Every structure is written in structure tokens, then in C-alpha cells.
Amino acid sequence: MTLSINCKDVGNPLCNHTIYGETEDEIMKKIKEHAIKEHDYTEQSWNAEMSENIENFKSAIRDSYGKNV
């Protein structure tokens, strides 16, 4: 099962980037890399974001049918 998350669903309306992964952990790891590379996050500000909003991110992950997982 391939899972995906759209950057625009988790706070950046101007970014059309979609991240794919096989597991929730893989998705969260890849979106962190994307956020640091493309959205000026640092390790520290990402961790702060996660401590406040991780549930928003997890609830935006979809399965290959486009449904929330």
C-alpha cells in the first residue's frame, strides 16, 4: 500500500509537492526532509512543529485510494 501526503494539506497552500511512502514513518521522514529543504525549516523548528501539530500531519496522510488512513 502506497501512502501519500500533499504539502498543501499540511500548511503550505502554495506547494503542490506530494510525498509518497510505504509507511507512516517513511512519510513523516520524507516530509521532514522536504520541509527542511524547501520550506526553511531547521531540525529544531521541525521538532517544534511536530510537538504541536503531528496529529494534523498524520491525519492528512492518504492511502492509494485517496482516503485518509
Please give the Cα distance from 20 to 68 (Å, whole number): 14
Residue 65: partners with Cβ closer than 8 Å, 6 or more residues away: none
CB of 52 to Zn ion, least distance (A): 18
- Distance between alpha carbon 36 and the CA centroid of its chain, in Å? 12
Kindly tell me which of 7 and 61 has the beta carbon lying closer to Zn ion.
Answer: 7
CB of 60 to Zn ion, least distance (A): 12
Please give the Cα distance from 41 to 22 (Å, whole number): 24
**Per-residue mark of binding to Zn ion, 2-41 (x: CB under 5 A):** -----x----x--x-x--------------------x---
- Applying CB under 5 A, which residues contact Zn ion? 7, 12, 15, 17, 38
